[in-house]
Each structure stands twice: as C-alpha cells, then as structure tokens.
Structure 1
C-alpha cells in the first residue's frame, strides 16, 4: 500500500462515508439481533424514518401514502405509518403483504398499524388519484433482499407513480433503498420502469454502495444514513468509501513560501493527433490551473508553436519531448496510429509517473505487449493511473459496457488486478480503486457529459502527481474536484446544459483553492 492511501482510512465503521455490501449489512443485522428483543431494529428503523418524514412534512393535515411490501421493508413502512398516524397526519397505507408473508417482527408492526388511525385504500383507488394528491409518499415495497425484477401489480404501481410525478413534485422517501434498485451495484433489476424514483433515501444500519453509483445516482435522491443504534464494534471494515470534501480534511497539499516552479513538478501531455489538438490543450490547461509548476504539450501532428490563450504552455512535438523528467499524461487526442503506439510504448517504459486515458487505453486493449508493459511498471515501483470510461473499461476487460455497468466496483477491481494500476472508472459515481481500497465519488452531475471533460480529469491527475501526491491520493482528489467543479457551475447558474470544458477548468481551480482554504492550509 502506498503511504498516501492511509489518509483515506480515517473513516470509522458505521460512518456515512463507509459503504457496505448487502451481505455485510445482513451479517451486522444478524449479530445485532442476538442481543435485542424481537422487532427492536424494525422499531428503530420506523422511528428514524418518521423523524426524517417529519422534516419533509409541514402541517398535520397533509396526506401521506405509505407503500408497504410483503417483506421486512414492508414492516419498516408499517412502523412509520402508525407512528405518523399517532402524530396526527392523514396516513393511507397501500398494503401488498398479508400476515402469512411477514416475519415475526413484521407481524408485530402490522398489528400496531391495524390498531392505529390509518386508512387502507386499494391500489385501484390510489391510481384514480393524481400523484400530487399526496404530500409525501413513503416507499417500503422492497429492500436490499430483492433479487429479481419487480412485476405484477407492484410494477404497475411504480410505473404509475414514476410517470405522473412530474419533476418529483411530490417527495418520495425510500426506506433503506428505492424499491427495485440493487443496493450493491446501483443497477435496476429489469429496467428503469422497475424501480421507484426517490427524492430521499434513508439507509438503515449503514450506507450502501448502490445508492451512490450508476443508476443509483438518479434513483436514490438525497441519502441519509441511520445506524439504528447498533454497536460500532460489530461492523466489519467497509467494502468501499464515499469521497466527499471530508475525505481530504487533513491531506490537502501544502505550499511553502520558500518554493519555486520546480518544486511543483513538470507535466507533459502527449496526444493531439490529426484534428485532435484541442484535447491535449484542455488537459494541459487543467494541469496548469491545478498547480503544476510547468506544463509541456507533446503533439503527434502539426501544432501551433504557442497557445495564445495560455502561452505558459510549452508546445513541441511528441517525438522531441522528454518523457523521463516529467509526469506524463498520454491519450488525449492520441489516435491509434503506429506513431501513437510508439509514443505510448515510450511513455510506459520511460515515465516514472504516468496517467493513461482515451486512445492510449484503446491501444493497450488491442496489444498484449502494451498490457505487459503496463503490468511491468508496478514491478518497478513506477506509478500509473488509468481513467477509462465504461466503453474503454469494457475493451480492456474484453467484455461489454453492460457487464461493466452491472458491477462498476467489480470492474474497477478487475482492472486493478489485471494491470496493477490505480483506476478511475468514470461515470455516475466514479469508482476509484487501487490494490487495497475502493472509493465512490460523491461529486459530479450530468453537465460533465460533454466533449473534453475526460481530458481535463487526465490533466488534473497529472498535476497532483507532479506536486508530490501519492498515486491514490492524486486520483481521489482529482476525481472529487473534477465533479465538484461541475457542481459549482450548477450552483452558479451555469448549467446543467452547455457548460464547456474550458469553463469547467476554471471551476475546478476555484474548488481546489476553496478546499485548501477551508482546511486552514497556507496558500
């Protein structure tokens, strides 16, 4: 493990930043139940969800629709229903389970609900009403135990709510996980119409990976975590960790007054084949704006001798560039020509610190010799970050995009194992993985879905490596700031449509400096 990885191990068990798999959560629950009365955790879940529901409701006359499924998630929903009814809210329960479907603890919740001032409409009655008839909908249909696509009448109900809740006018609170969403992968079992799109999710016992990556980013909404009072000592190490600004609380790079441009390293961006010279320019500008001491651009094809917008960038041919003295970022606009392959081979053999993206990844996927060179770098203690999007990852793994997206954490881990590198698997909830740990990035939004943003991430990674950050630290910080810059653009009214990559670079610089200042670090 690289020493810089240790900065990410400060997350205590049961922290909202720790992300757990379903099997881990089920094991925690089983251990906790041994020392608790029957139904204690279900009651705790009901109280936690009711507290959050109270924050979403404004007056006692408001109408709440509770969707109670046939399992323990339905039991949680029934707990919330009777607690809200006791507080005076107008609560309607659409029940899909019968007593024979329920566990002993869920039966207790059902009995409490039956003795509460609840209304019990039929599905046909509910579907005659406009969704906006309700002030809050609580989703307790299915939890983390779901293993097949939702079908039948419940699927019909989900489609009715999703299709008629325009712009999510009516908030939906999902209990533990939005019904239909895989808590481990963030994928939807059976397609998008088979999951209920939540505005809020309250995750019980621990935070879950699938709430923060893939389709989970769209379906989970704002995530809240409640440990239900379980003793932290029985929690195993988290499977992954959520990257937020708190991750970097004690690890932002410091700058001394007694320093100079050489202190902060050189970056060389290699790419810019025929018709693609803009890509290395974007990567180089990103490296410049994120603090690299000097930035060189090595072009494979014709190029302007100076970037008039940023003349600080030093332009030359890739063939005449020094791959040994700088952190090399290769791939933006590289192409897949024979010369591109030659320059990539040079980078793999000569560069101490290397960031690989775009066409460089496509070349590696096609040539076993290049794959061997990538692996050999680890044996020489040379540092490598790769930044594939799902299609590039699929090519490297010789699989499909669908397979990559079906298990993004697993795909990232497989890339680490195969190539012995640090990986940033881009996408909704980017996955960062090294040989020891996995992180899921919390920042970012759809405005990043535009040409050039991947080149910017490459440049940011290279800048942080040049300034002396460890490979994992650099990758995590780059991924977080890349998304945070996009988030700040939205906050400032610049999107989500039409944010250009050039605008993003400036936003990333602002986000970086805000993060430094917020920790009281000299700047």
Structure 2
C-alpha cells in the first residue's frame, strides 16, 4: 500500500468533503475502525479514553459508542465548550445524551488510569508544532507512566516534539503514514479511490500560505517567453500568473509584439527582443532574464518560424523550472518541468493518438510517456489528466464554453505561478482545478459568451478553498 504524507492526507480529507463525503461520516467510520481494533486485541474490558478538543479527540469519542460491553471512561482535556470542531462537538454531545462517563479534566491528577486495561490516546493529531506544554504535556506524561497498553488514534500524540506518547500500537486511517514505526494498523474508513484521483480544493491547500513577512518576489517570479505572430496569448499567460499569486511577471517578446503587450496592462514588465519572431540572437538577453526568475513559461503565440525552434532548443535547458505550452511543444525539442498539451499536440510530440480513447483509456499511455520523458504531463481535455509517470490525477472542473481561444494560455500562467511555490506535480494538479473552476465561474455569468479574460478575472475567487457556492 502506497504511503501518504500527512499533508497529502489532509488534502484527501478536503477533497472528500468537496465530493460530498462529510467529515462527520469519516469520523464515524474512524471511530468504528478504532473500536474494532480494541475489540480484536482483547486488552480487557476497562478502557480509558484521553481526548483533546480537536478531531483526534472526536475520533475517540465516536469509538466509545462502538465499544458495547466495555467499561469506558472518557477524559476530555479541558472544557467541552472549547471543543474546536463541529464534528468532535457533535460526538461529545451524543455521549452526553447517552449518559456515558464523561469527565472534563483540568489537571493530570484527575486522570484515574490505575484501574484501566487500555488507554486510548486521542489528544493530538498531526498539527502539533513546537513545544508541548500545559495540561496536554502532563497527560502525555501520565499515559507514559501508567504502565498500561496504549492505542494511539492516527498518530502518537506529540510526535515530532520532545513530548510524545509511547504507543503500543497506532490505528491510522486510509494509508500508511511516515514515521509511525512497526506497530501500525491501517484502517479503511471509506475514503473512495476517487478522492485521490480527482483534484479538488485539498490540492490548493498543498500550495502553502504566504507568510506575513513575505517581500516582493518571495511568492514567485515568472518569465513568459511568447509572442511574435500573436500577442494576446502571452499577455493572457502573464496576467493569469499575476492573478494566481506570482509577485512579478516579465514578458519577453519579439519587438512588435512586445510593444503591443506593454499596452495591455501596467502590471506587466515587458522586455523587447530583437526581431519579429524569437531567434537565437535573443539568447544573450534571455540568459540574463532566466536566472532572475523562478519559472519560465514558454510557447504561447511564438509561431513556427525555424529560428524559433532553434532558439527554444537552447532556452529550455537554461530554465531550472519550465512550463512548456503551445508552439514550444515540438518534436525533437528538450522537455522538462510541466508540459501542457491538448490531444493533438500530444500526438505531435509522442506519435500516440488519443483521439478515440475516453479519459480513463488515456491514462496508461500518458503515464508511459511522462515516465519516459521525465516530465509532468497536464493533458487538456474534457477531463484533464495530470501525471508524473507514476501517479495520475484527473480534473473535472471546466465546461464547453472554455473552447474559446486563450483558456489554455491562462492555464499555463496559473501553472507557472503555482510552480514557483511548490513541486511540478502539485502545481499542475492545482492549476488544472483552478483553471476549470475559474471557467465555471465565468460561464455562470457569461454563458457561451465567456472570454479568456473572464477566466483571468475569476482566478482569485477560484483559488478560495472554502465555499460550497464555488462548487460546479
């Protein structure tokens, strides 16, 4: 079974909720799974549950109800009024209505552990950082000194700090997690495979948050290399990158195109190149620009002049992080980072036709190509597919109105902005979701009259992880 990181698990939880699988349902399933392991281990009939005020404690509350025939005492560290999530509070209230033995603990001396056979540790989940202090630290010490068998819920409380529960075994959920040791039981809590296949708001959470101490440029510098016969495409990419959170976006474009693009928005920095198309003569300028940016996104509106292909062959290897789109997707050119073809461009690159395949049939050929070329492929389609050659994800946001020109250029800009902040695969996953979601928001207002510029304006709203009204 593939291991999953804690932050990826939080993303899966968020995507479950987006798909309609509520946290309360998962908490109930988690509680039942914990209870099954307690019953199977036959530790004795007296169980002490020591719970914190978050969802880890809520899982333990749910477990209590499934322990018919056991003598269960639930110790809550703190006051019930301070339980921090609706799901945990709901499970505590159910136990109150059932008249279970519930005790609000203010000091560790109130934990009576001598007479129990098993301690269930539900104090902390994965969000603990720094030093554990106060009542929770005292409770961890009491558990460790009790000399009883200990079951931890999902993770030993305090793991990663200097104060951690010494668990005999851990019941973790859905998939194995890092650093849990050998005595781990992985419990199925009803998370469907689709919650890991389809991208969603949880993938936005993997982008991280901007620090209050951030300075200009810390959230990404993006260089757009595009334009020549077309001017709108690189401008859309650049504006999308800004709306997706990049701090600085520079457009390097052939001379006439650069002059047009500079009129699109005062927010864009535009560097004029030498000719009416990208040529190898532009390499000295680009060699200075590329190291000053975190990500280079290229191909939009470049055209197919032979000089342009020669220039791209030299430019692509210079970029540490690259997003390659449109006219830069040429056979024989080096590839790296993220490539964003539609089915026709993918056939041109790979020689593989996907035209008669549905999206599920496309998965294996796509994975094989990504693995062979060592790139992230974001294949645009009715259902977008994103793969690094091992994992594959699918995106279902978007609508037929997005066949209007320019939406792919917007996607490239979003992907570049995200790639400045995270890995290529995570950036591509989140970009596909946000681009389609922005399209859905634009379609709700404009219908089939929507334009690519409408998508650009909807990107900030599409990036908000919360809000049921943003669902398709």
**In the alignment, what sits opposite 2:451?**
500
* Structure 2 CA distance for aligned equivalents of residues 399 and 348 of structure 1: 23
- Displacement of 1:17 after TM fit? 8.8
- Displacement of 1:433 after TM fit? 0.8
**In the alignment, what sits opposite 2:307?**
339
Partner secondary structure for residue 355 of structure 2:
helix
* Structure 1 CA distance for aligned equivalents of residues 305 and 5 of structure 2: 36
- Displacement of 1:241 after TM fit? 0.8
**In the alignment, what sits opposite 1:470?**
423
Q: Which residue of the other structure, out of 229, 233, 236, is the alignment partner of 1:279?
A: 233
Does the CA-based 8 Å contact 2:386-2:392 persist in structure 1? yes
Query: Is 1:267 the equivalent of 2:222?
Result: yes
Does the CA-based 8 Å contact 1:5-1:470 persist in structure 2? no
1:144-179 per-residue CA deviation (whole Å, 9 max, x = no partner) reads: xxxxxxxxxxxxxxxxxxxxxxxxxxxxxxxxxxxx
**In the alignment, what sits opposite 1:63?**
none
Residues 6 and 444 (structure 1), Cα distance of their counterparts in 2 relative to 1, 3 Å cut: farther
Does the CA-based 8 Å contact 2:198-2:395 persist in structure 1? yes
Residues 255 and 234 (structure 1), Cα distance of their counterparts in 2 relative to 1, 3 Å cut: closer
**In the alignment, what sits opposite 1:434?**
388
**In the alignment, what sits opposite 1:402?**
355
* Structure 2 CA distance for aligned equivalents of residues 345 and 316 of structure 1: 20
Number of positions where the alignment pairs a residue of Structure 1 with one of Structure 2 = 282
**In the alignment, what sits opposite 1:313?**
268
Query: Is 1:354 the equivalent of 2:322?
Result: yes
- Compute the TM-score of the two structures, normalised by the length of structure 2: 0.54
Partner secondary structure for residue 411 of structure 1:
helix
1:32-67 per-residue CA deviation (whole Å, 9 max, x = no partner) reads: xxxxxxxxxxxxxxxxxxxxxxxxxxxxxxxxxxxx
**Unaligned 5+ runs, structure 1:** 19-230, 378-383
Q: CA RMSD in A?
A: 3.1
Query: Is 1:460 the equivalent of 2:414?
Result: yes
Residues 17 and 271 (structure 1), Cα distance of their counterparts in 2 relative to 1, 3 Å cut: same
**Unaligned 5+ runs, structure 2:** 20-186, 274-281
1:208-234 per-residue CA deviation (whole Å, 9 max, x = no partner) reads: xxxxxxxxxxxxxxxxxxxxxxx9489
* Structure 2 CA distance for aligned equivalents of residues 460 and 392 of structure 1: 20
* Structure 2 CA distance for aligned equivalents of residues 262 and 234 of structure 1: 42
Partner secondary structure for residue 424 of structure 1:
strand
**In the alignment, what sits opposite 1:325?**
292
Does the CA-based 8 Å contact 1:388-1:425 persist in structure 2? yes
Does the CA-based 8 Å contact 1:296-1:313 persist in structure 2? yes
* Structure 2 CA distance for aligned equivalents of residues 502 and 311 of structure 1: 16
* Structure 2 CA distance for aligned equivalents of residues 490 and 455 of structure 1: 18
Does the CA-based 8 Å contact 1:240-1:438 persist in structure 2? no
- Displacement of 1:423 after TM fit? 1.1
Partner secondary structure for residue 324 of structure 1:
helix
* Structure 1 CA distance for aligned equivalents of residues 435 and 297 of structure 2: 16
* Structure 2 CA distance for aligned equivalents of residues 299 and 393 of structure 1: 25
Query: Is 1:243 the equivalent of 2:199?
Result: yes
- Compute the TM-score of the two structures, normalised by the length of structure 1: 0.49
Partner secondary structure for residue 463 of structure 1:
helix
1:248-293 per-residue CA deviation (whole Å, 9 max, x = no partner) reads: 4x4243112222222122111111122x111101101111111111
Does the CA-based 8 Å contact 2:238-2:249 persist in structure 1? yes
* Structure 2 CA distance for aligned equivalents of residues 4 and 236 of structure 1: 15
- Displacement of 1:323 after TM fit? 2.1
**In the alignment, what sits opposite 1:154?**
none
- Displacement of 1:470 after TM fit? 1.4
Larger-Rg structure: 2
Residues 337 and 8 (structure 1), Cα distance of their counterparts in 2 relative to 1, 3 Å cut: farther
